[in-house]
Amino acid sequence: MRGVDPARDYDYLSEFDPGNDLPLANQLLDEAYALKKQGDFKAAEKLMLVARAYLDVKCEMDDQAAHTAVNYRSYLLLGNLYHDMREWDKELDAYTKASWTWDMLQQRNKHRFIPGPIVYYSNLQRCNPSEKSLYQILPPSTRIW
């Protein structure tokens, strides 16, 4: 399945099927995600931005392209990348755009699992398996999820 990284199964990317719409964008995002996993953040960013530019043009030409799972996935992966690059403003922008696209996508794809952006917001404090997550650090009375 596209985008699977077993070390990050908690972010639900392994369960997220971006569908068959706009296969070129999916291919670019798959390659970019593979580069990110290898630690080549700059090359991954360039490929993701090419995918975003392609999707932006498609969305201008066809309103329905904005409501595709691949469009949503591109913002999620971009936010994930910017988090790892510690580009906090860009990360927030990507996740905000993911939030904007999720509602219409959810309405269009009621039969498919589309993880809501809140899943990603609650995991912005990513951790190595040897580190404690934010969820484990906060006392139970302060947890909001």
Q: What is the pLDDT of residues 46-55, one digit of tens each?
A: 999 999 999 9
In a domain, 74, yes or no: yes
76-115: b or e for each residue (b if 16 or more CB lie within 10 Å)?
A: bbbbbbbbeeebeebbeebbebbbebbebbeeebeeeebb
In a domain, 81, yes or no: yes
To the nearest whole percent, how much of the chain has pLDDT over 90?
Answer: 14
CATH code, domain with 62: 1.25.40
Average pLDDT over residues 50-66: 88
In a domain, 73, yes or no: yes
In a domain, 67, yes or no: yes
- Residue with the two structure tokens 């993911």: 98
Per-residue tokens: 90: 């860009």
Which residues, other chains included, contact 8 with Cβ-Cβ below 8 Å and sequence gap of 6+? Answer: 126
Of the two residues 62 and 50, the one the predictor is more confident about is 50
In a domain, 12, yes or no: yes
- Please report the pLDDT score of residue 43 as a whole number: 95
How many domains does the chain fold into? 1
- Name the band, by pLDDT with cuts 50, 70 and 90, for residue 5: very low
Average pLDDT over residues 41-65: 91
Residue range of the domain that includes 20: 6-142
Q: What is the pLDDT of residues 76-132, one digit of tens each?
A: 888 888 888 989 889 888 888 888 887 777 777 676 666 665 555 444 444 444 444
In a domain, 129, yes or no: yes
Q: In sequence order, what DSSP letters do the residues of 59-128 get, joined into one string?
A: HHH-GGGGGSHHHHHHHHHHHHHHHHHT-HHHHHHHHHHHHHHHHHHHHHTTTS----HHHHHTT-S---
**Whether pLDDT at 45 is above 90:** yes
In a domain, 1, yes or no: no
